[in-house]
Chain A
């Protein structure tokens, strides 16, 4: 699976949009982009995934560049409860290929 690069940490003010970047320049055509997050001491939680098109659900939006070499996860109105480590993963989707890196630690502040 393609490797990903994320900033180790980011800050965001509560109520503002949090934009979390991810580089995946070696992504192949059959690999999806997945985002998970892990709130302190809990198990990871699925957020969203996409292949080519931008995606939106009740939690977040995923913007994938046209060349698919990078993506951005957007939390439109961050709250304190969104403080977590966010993992960007590229994978074909098979069980053995979902590899978690070290992610971005997002701190939402008042």
Chain B
């Protein structure tokens, strides 16, 4: 693995189903983030984690949960998917959550909820 990876690449999901989007980084970055990007809009922060064992809510956290059991992994879970969660999801990481905040992004997961 080099950098940050996401799985799956794309997914079609029935409404009401549970789904976990996976994100893994091998850069030993402390901070990780989940964004969603909808057509015509910029990226919006869903949840973040400044370090393993801690998480925080971003701009649009409702309907999503995250965990950060270790440094490398930051899964995003949709407990009961709804059509409004159809979006492209990007995971990102940075060395720290501090001032020089260069974030590295994964390739994204395209999720369609029907």
Contact residue among B42, B44, B49, B103 (Cβ-Cβ distance under 8 Å from A103):
B42
Would A95 and B50 be within 8 Å (CB), given that A43-B92, A100-B43 are in contact? yes
The interface centre, meaning the residue of B40, B48, B92, B101 with most chain A CB atoms within 10 A of its CB, is: B101
Interface stretch, picked from B14-22, B63-71, B77-85, B105-113, is B105-113
CA–CA, A42 and B105, complex, Å: 9
Q: Confirm or deny: B8 has a beta carbon within 8 angstroms of a beta carbon on chain A.
A: no
Q: Confirm or deny: B31 has a beta carbon within 8 angstroms of a beta carbon on chain A.
A: yes
Q: How far is the CB of A67 from chain B (nearest CB, A)?
A: 21
Contact residue among B43, B90, B101, B106 (Cβ-Cβ distance under 8 Å from A95):
B101
Residues in A with CB closer than 8 Å to B42 are 87, 99-103
CA–CA, A93 and B98, complex, Å: 6
CA–CA, A101 and B41, complex, Å: 7
Would A43 and B48 be within 8 Å (CB), given that A32-B99, A87-B42, A103-B42 are in contact? no
CA–CA, A101 and B45, complex, Å: 12
Q: How many positions in chain A have a CB within 8 Å of any CB in the partner chain?
A: 23
Q: How far is the CB of A45 from chain B (nearest CB, A)?
A: 7
Residues in A with CB closer than 8 Å to B56 are 95-96
- Mask of B9-32 contacts with A, CB within 8 angstroms, 1/0: 000000000000000000000010
- Mask of B29-63 contacts with A, CB within 8 angstroms, 1/0: 00101010000111111001110000010110000
Residues in B with CB closer than 8 Å to A34 are 101
* A contacts, CB < 8 Å to B: 32, 34, 36, 41-46, 49, 87, 91-96, 98-103
